[in-house]
Chain A
Amino acid sequence: MLTRVTYFSGKAVGSIRESPGISALCAATVATALVVLGSYVMGLSNFEQLALIWGRAASVAAYVDDKVGEPSWEALRIEVARRQGIEGVALIRPHEALTRFKARGSEAAALVEGVSEDVLPAVLEIRLAPAFTDLAAIERLAVELRTIPGIADVDYGREEFVRLQGLIEILRYGGLIGGLLILLATAFIVSNTIRLAVYARRDEIGIQRLVGATAWFVRAPFVIEGSLWGLAGGLGAAGLLWLVNTFVAPRLSVAVGDVLGGIEIRLFAPEVAIGIVVIGVVLGAAGSVLAVRRFLEVDL
């Protein structure tokens, strides 16, 4: 068994040495296809992160009951801040709320012209922890907050949140379908490129079959060769994404970060890199199996 593996590996490496141009072309094709796939996955991840940031920006607001006097507001803020999933709580006093509203623009200022700050309640502006992005969890938190004596109502922008969650779901499922389509296209392109390499060696395959080689004897070196092309392509693609992530992504984050809610753009993740390399190896091997199949019948 070991002898066979050594034999097939030797044949595969020998073939790569013999045709470095074709091997480089195959590896480059795999790398290109995987860069597209990796960029798509990372783009999707960034978009999802952006959606979550926007979701968290619509923070939870707890309205303090009118009957609770100003001296108790700070104690209430501390009480709320103790709850799990809450990163911070800011106390917005009525006059601050009014000032903020007026600052929105002249139309907003005109709207509250003559309104006394007494009619506005104090508000506890709650900032959620980064991992706290699930609507059901926020709903549970809202229910819990309403049970605290002194809290009159809790607003967490349910409708906006539901819309956002819908968007994230679309991104996830749409992304899955999109990812599968890109994967299929990648497999198709890789298989066709490998077919070119196999076509160049069809005579050898024909003679191997003539002297009694089984289909797997013919396939094995090509499968190893395809896996090596896939490995090289996968490592190349992961390396390229890492370079872009290291040198381009930080500048991109600075350039568009403010507009996009302070998002830190990431174009590389270790798990995506591992996935790319594994997909590269599998694509290379599977592409070789498919490409060799049509040349297995002897036509001498």
Chain B
Amino acid sequence: MQTHDQTELHDGGGVADHIHPEPQTFVRKYIFSIDHKIIGIQYLITGSVFFVLAGLLAEVIRTQLMHANGGVVDANTYNEIYSVHGSAMVWLVVIPLLTGGFGNFVFPLQIGARDVAFPWLNMLSFWIFPPAGLMLFGSFLMGAPAAGWTEYPPMSLQGQAGTSMWCAAIFLVGVSSTLTGINFLVTILKMRAPGMTFTRMPLFVWAQFATAPLLMIATTALAAALAALFMERQFGVPFFDPTKGGSPVLWQHMFWFYSHPAVYIMILPAFGMISEILPTFSRKPIFGYKMIAFSSVAIALLGFTVWAHHMFTSGLAPFLQLPFMIMTMLIAIPTGIKIFSWVTTLWGGKIRFTTAMLFAVGFIATFTFGGITGIFLSAVPFDLHAHGTYFIVAHLHYVLVGGSLMGILAGTFFWFPKMTGRMMNEKLGKWTFWLFLIGMNGAFLPMHYQGLLGMPRRVATYDPQFQTINQIESIFSYVMTFALLLFFGNLLYSIRNGKKAGSNPWGARTLEWQIPSPPHYYNFKHVPTVFAAPYDFAEPLPYTGLEEELTDAPGPQPASVH
């Protein structure tokens, strides 16, 4: 807090007009940057690196499962690999990419802000993240965690030294997420451009608005669980060890109280992306704007009331099973509203099938499938059969790969031009889409059948009756990996060699497309005023104050005192 002599009266300038001078050194500009756009891209790059690593682990898993007797790695290494694969994909890839990455880059632009509410805190959030990721992957050096991404005690109490490292790494990621959640929530509540009322916010902002409290609240609950597990492992403080009076089931409650909302952290922003992409390429308003917006919030709220549906076989008292079953089924209603609204948005459109649009449409199909198997699992009697089997593996990969990852890919093709000023290669993009769609469904669809017939999850070797089906899945997973290699190749190639994008290659109507690509350091020359929701393609753009954006007019001057 600095001294301000109250005699000084800034000329009209509140926070929105308060500009810091643009940093000039490489370190302050690209490394320790406080610019939300740079931080967003830093998240995207770091998350992508971790994605490649965790993806390689996935291919080791699939290669191991080519034969019923395994043979690529031994059982303990296999257990380490899938545990780190799961943990990394959830905490180092999907959550950071969707919130820290796309969230940071896109939503402040969409609400007409010059930065997030706490830029320094934003930088801190980011810089906690890479060390945490390195710790998680580094745990391989000391015996990685090997009890799955859920690390149930007492198994995790017996786990190798790296399990404590896992606790610390995930704790750090959690701190980063919590700070990001606070930052985003304040930004959305307080930093919207004049006239940007809640019912005029783009749906991606709504999605981040529903996600931020989840990041803030659920992640802190996980931090408590991780701290307890760490204390028990390192100092013998009894929370979970039954021989000392603790309860293994307590961990499951604490873990899932976070990790179920985390599922929505991983999907709501993707919902938001789809809700931006569909109207843009259908050239018509999103159907049922308010219902889509409110259903995000409903899903976020309901998300806190269903965690114990992961514990139907853990000995949950029957009188608790019932409410958790019913609440879980209720989530189908807001999710259904979203899906129906998206499908209806396509009706009557003039649809341009760019790669981003293909991924968005593919997302609806695969996510619907994953959502439906989720309804299956909410029914306790069916869950008694399917829990802990490949049916669960199939379900979670349909929502995370067919949902979150498809959303990330759609979002990348959509916002890449804004981030870099260049287009990604569309032809290669379409190949990516079709190969990815085929590979993804081929790899995960048969797993449902496999699980129903008796293949448990987290096994390094398995009953030979499942060998053929596993081989089919593995081959399709290689197809999926190939598609992703195409994607990354496209990405790297297009950064330097892509076609120039211009400010608004898609003819989109949200604010970020009305300014140059990539945007200036200060985002907007003048903070715009908003007077309608962004999706009316028949109307002129509902903004004023943007007239100078694409001209040579000078940008705003940094405040003299700050």
A binds B: no
B→A interface (CB under 8 Å)? none
Q: Which residues of A contact B (CB under 8 A)?
A: none
